[in-house]
Amino acid sequence: MKNQLLPEGFRDSLPELATKENKVNSTFIKLMQKNGFLLVKPPLLEFESSLFFLLDDNEEANSFRVLDPISQKMMGIRSDITVQIARISCGSLIELPRPLKLCYSGEVLRVNNNSLNLSRQATQIGSEIIGIDQNECENEIISLMIESLKLLKIKKFFISFTMPTLVPAIVKDFKLSKSDLEFVKSKYNNKNSEGLEKISNQLKTISNVLIDCVGDATLNLKKLRTIKFTKNIKNEIQSFIKITSRIIKDFPNLEIFIDPLEIDESNYHTGIAFKVFSANLKELFSGGNYRVSNESCIGFSGFTESLLSESLITKSLIKKILVPKYTDSELKKNLQKKGFFTFQAIKKFNKQQIKIEAIKQDCNYYFFDNVIYKVK
């Protein structure tokens, strides 16, 4: 067949990969549901007005658009399910009691991929808690992240906490112009304070201190406690110290870092934000506090592709067993209850033939005369 090439950043998930991806997704969703989260499934497309209300211009520009032939209105294909959960929580589910706990799994599409993820289509999984007191549910969210990573057999990981509210506080305290703000952001992205004295010597001094506090949380929180900051920066620093100190205490075995100067690309976080990385520095989950219709929320999400690349759960995932042609349906059900994927032969085989066929069909086991044999 000609013209089988797919667009850049898109691929088929063939049987083995698709099965592994489904295992990651189902493991995550089952955990969330066991912890009281309700599963929701938003549509892939929405009208632009509802899809982009929480996104910044960059994320909006990274979304595919199509013209709806029925309404003649422009529609967007989601690039982030989080914003859809926000819409649902303050719309269809506005009457449900708070806190409202929702989880999800679905495909997202992006016009441009990033340097860390070559795919333009990915499966996003996540959980959100809507309608909470500010800084109330961080521990629950982090506990769920840790438990999900353990279930996925990702053994080594660490978490980095950031302060999305710090830059707005700096803007207030130093009355930064738009051009000054962009200059400060560029410096913070590179962890460099050179040139900030042109705006304010005090800003450069504070920036140097914050740059020096990037790294191990326990060590650097002690530094932050000893430094004098301007009014609004001080308030944000104190809140950040309070939350992260509590998390350090509650999760003594978790490796925790802080980066006060990381620029928040989402532009909708209103409190603490965080990212979880593997030992190979692959981003596994990200999340934080945000607000929707005057409700405080917190959540996290990740992408199946990244989780799968670090997970050991798939090494012994599929137990495929080849069964004879006329195997009773009840017998197949019993094998399936034991965790086997049953593949029925299409011809009648003797013991040696069914073994050969099992190898041919890439089965781990075969069934003959009421005995399970492992393919060696």
- Phi, psi angles (nearest 5°) of residue 240: -65, -45
- pLDDT tens digits, one per residue of 30-77: 999 999 999 999 999 999 988 887 666 666 778 999 999 999 999 999
Would the pLDDT of 244 be above 90?
yes
- pLDDT tens digits, one per residue of 247-271: 999 999 999 999 999 988 777 888 8
Structure tokens at 138: 């961080």
CB environment 188-218: b (16+ within 10 A), e (fewer): beeeebeebeebbeebbebbebbbebbeebe
Helix (H) or strand (E) holding 258: strand 255-259
Distance CA 23, CA 125 (A): 12
- Whether the ω angle into residue 99 lies within 30 degrees of 0, i.e. cis, is yes
Residue 49 and residue 121 in one domain = yes
Residue 89 and residue 55 in one domain = yes
Residue 258 lies in a domain: no
Q: How far is CA 200 from the centre of its chain?
A: 38
Distance CA 283, CA 277 (A): 5
pLDDT of residue 49: 84
Q: How many domains does the chain have?
A: 2
Residue 292 lies in a domain: yes
Residue 121 and residue 99 in one domain = yes
Residue 176 lies in a domain: no
Distance CA 46, CA 163 (A): 31
pLDDT of residue 50: 86
Residue 125 and residue 45 in one domain = yes
Got the DSSP string for 285-346?
EEEEEEEETTEEEEEEEEEHHHHHHH--TTTT--EEEEE-TT--HHHHHHHHHTTEEEEE-S
Residue 326 and residue 364 in one domain = yes
Query: Which structural domain range is residue 368 located in?
Result: 319-374
pLDDT of residue 1: 59
Q: CATH number for the domain including 123?
A: 3.30.930.10
Where does the pLDDT of residue 341 fall: very low under 50, low under 70, confident under 90, or very high at 90 and above?
very high
pTM: 0.90
pLDDT of residue 317: 63
Mean pLDDT in residue range 193-209 = 96
What residues contact residue 70 under an 8 Å CB cut-off, 6+ apart?
none
* Residue 121 vs residues 63, 197, 316: alpha-carbon distances, Å: 11, 43, 27
Residue 301 and residue 334 in one domain = no
- pLDDT tens digits, one per residue of 142-183: 999 999 999 999 989 999 999 999 999 999 999 999 999 999
Residue 136 and residue 46 in one domain = yes
pLDDT of residue 3: 65
Mean of per-residue pLDDT scores for the chain: 92
pLDDT of residue 58: 65
Would the pLDDT of 277 be above 70?
yes
Where does the pLDDT of residue 111 fall: very low under 50, low under 70, confident under 90, or very high at 90 and above?
very high
Residue 230 lies in a domain: no
* Lowest-pLDDT choice from 52-61, 201-210, 280-289: 52-61
Q: Order of strands, edge to edge, in the sheet holding 74-77?
A: 45-47, 74-77, 65-67
Residue 78 lies in a domain: yes
Residue 172 lies in a domain: no
Residue 196 lies in a domain: no
Q: Are strands 65-67 and 74-77 parallel, antiparallel or unpaired?
A: antiparallel
Cα-Cα-Cα-Cα torsion 213, 217, 308, 86, nearest 10 degrees, comes to -80
Residue 220 lies in a domain: no
What residues contact residue 1 under an 8 Å CB cut-off, 6+ apart?
none
Residue pointed to by tokens 């990200």: 286
Q: What is the DSSP letter of 25?
A: H
